[in-house]
Structure 1
Amino acid sequence: MNNTIETGKTAAITSYILGIGVFIAMSMNSDDKNTFASFHIRQGLGLTLTFISLGLIISNFDSLMISAPMWIFVSVLWSYGIFTAIKGETKPVPLLGNLFQKWFANIS
């Protein structure tokens, strides 16, 4: 298990670079499917899609009172995800992490 974490850590951390990082991590993990990296790729993909969808909805409002909480929410979840990847843990991000694992179960 420890070897799985060490070999998948780079891809796991890369998956949290919002946007392109998920796709880079997917290609890094395409040859040898690493379960640790796959877990964090699903988390990173979910966070990226959450960020984009909330951003599209909130961009219709020109208010800092609406956009600031979205940025804080995504930043907290992102920080949690990347720090668990760095520590070598597979803890889902709060609130949405278990859903990301279920929704993106076919992504490995």
Structure 2
Amino acid sequence: MRGFEVGEPVVYLMTKQSSHPTLRATTVSPAAHGDDYSYVVKKFWVVSEICTDGSLIVQTRRGKARRVSSDDPCLRHASLWERWMYRDRFPEADLADPVPMKPRPTPEKIGQAG
């Protein structure tokens, strides 16, 4: 499996437990006595840093930084389909993209001919 790179979108399968699973929950299973449910939720993050010990610092959609092991079985590369389908769930480019984007011309500058 190829390694992770800074700025790369990743998917983390987070296991949760509550009495009310969310709409995005998958693999929902009830507890033994039926009080709670355990389920899995996909988290869409972007790699912001690669540590010397091989762990990753990832950026969440709300700007939090989390440290995860690069060999965690719940962490994987986002597929091309997920990058397109869930593009609004990944963090904004300005939070995770190490290369600044070029500014776009404003409408005033477009109408002016040098």
Which has more helix, going by share of residues? 1
TM-score by length of 1: 0.25
TM-score w.r.t. length of structure 2:
0.24
* Structure with the higher fraction of residues in strand conformation: 2
Instruction: Name which one, 1 or 2, has greater alpha-carbon Rg.
Output: 2
